Amino acid sequence: MSLRLRRISEAQCAVTLSTGAQVDPREGTVLHVPGGHLSLEPQRQNESLRMAVQPRNFMRSGSTRIRRIFASDLKHVISDLVDVFTDTVNGGSQLGFLPPITRDEARDYWISLFPELATGSRLVFVAFNGDRVVGSGQLALSQRTNSPHRAEVQRLFVARGFRGQGVGKLLMYALHDTAREHGRSLISLSTRRGEPAEEFYKRLGYVEAGVIPGWTIGPAGERYDHVTLYQELGRFQHSGW
C-alpha cells in the first residue's frame, strides 16, 4: 500500500510506520506501508493520529484500480482475463503464444498458473476500470538460491480500448513496488524487438541488455528478434498512486 502525505496542520509530522521505522515526513512523500497501520504524530502538538490503511493488494489511480490476484481469486476474474488475453494475442501481441488462439487455450493457460500462484512464486496483478478487467501483468520471482534479488516481468497487457491511458504504467508500478517488497531489485523482461512495448519499457527506465535474433516465430514461420531489458530498481516507490 502506498500513501501520499498531505499536510494536516502547520505542524511538522514525524511519521512512524507500524514497523517502528521513521520516514521522511515532507508533504507529497509517498509511503510504502506493508499492511497494518500508519501513525502520524505531530511533533508540535501532543496528539497522535492513527489511520488504518487498505491491504497491499488494492491500489487506485483515477478510475483504474490495480489488484493483486491470489489463487483463490482466480475463478472470479478468469473469464474476463481470458477475453482480454485472447484479444491481445490474436491482435498481434503474442505473449508467449502463436496466434490465433482460442478462449479454451487461453483459459488453460490461466488455470496452469494456479500452482505458482498458490506457492507465491508468481504474482499476478489485474487492472480494473470499474468492474471491467482492462489489463494484467505478472512478476515471476526467481526461486534459485543464487538470485533471490531477481524477478521477471511477464505477460503485461492492456485491453486494446484502454491503451495509451496510463494503465500499463500503473501495472508496472504495482509490479515494481511488489518486487521491492519481496526484496527483488533486479528486474528483467523480454519483448519483441521494434514493437511498441520496447519503447514503453525504455520510458520506464529499462535498459537494453541485448538482442536474440529469431527468438520466436509467427504464424507463417517467420522469425522475430527479441530484446532483453533490465532495470535495477531504486529504493523508493513510484509516486504515481
140 in Cβ contact with 121 (< 8 Å): yes
Among 86, 138, 191, 231, binds ligand COA (CB under 6 A): 191
Nine-digit cell string for 66: 490495480
Q: Cell digits for 74? A: 482466480
CB-CB contact of 157 with 88 (8 Å): yes
- The contact mask relative to ligand COA for 78-117 (x = CB under 6 A, - = no) is ----------x----x-x----------------------
Give residue 169's Cα distance to chain centre: 8
Select the span of 1-9, 16-24, 105-113, 151-159 touching ligand COA (CB under 6 A): 151-159
Q: How far is the CB of 200 from ligand COA (least distance, A)?
A: 4
Interface stretch with ligand COA, choices 19-27, 42-50, 107-115, 197-205 (CB under 6 A)? 197-205
Q: At closest approach, how far in Å is the CB of 144 from ligand COA? A: 22
181 SS3 class: helix
Question: Minimal distance in Å, beta carbon 239 to ligand COA?
Answer: 13
Binding track, positions 163-182, relative to ligand COA; x by CB under 6 A: xxxxxxx-------------
- Number of residues lying near ligand COA (CB under 6 A): 20
| 3 state DSSP class of 161 | helix
Q: Which class for 205: exposed (0-12), middle (13-18), buried (19 or more C-beta within 10 A)?
A: middle
Residue in 181, 189, 187, 188 with CA at minimum distance from that of residue 235: 181
Shortest reach from residue 8's CB to ligand COA, in Å: 30
Q: Do the Cβ atoms of 215 and 226 come closer than 8 Å?
A: yes
Q: Please identify, among the stretches 31-39, 74-82, 102-110, 196-204, the one whose residues bind ligand COA according to the rule CB under 6 A.
A: 196-204
Judged by beta carbon, residue 56 or residue 192, the one nearer ligand COA is 192
Sole binder of ligand COA in the list 114, 200, 215, 224 (CB under 6 A) = 200
Q: Per-residue DSSP letters for 70-134? A: PGGGHHHHHHHHHHHHHHHHHTT--TTS-SS--HHHHHHHHHHTHHHHHHTSEEEEEEEETTEEE
Which parts of 20-59 interact with ligand COA (CB under 6 A)? none
Which residues sit at the interface with ligand COA, rule CB under 6 A? 88, 93, 95, 156-158, 163-169, 191, 195-197, 199-200, 203
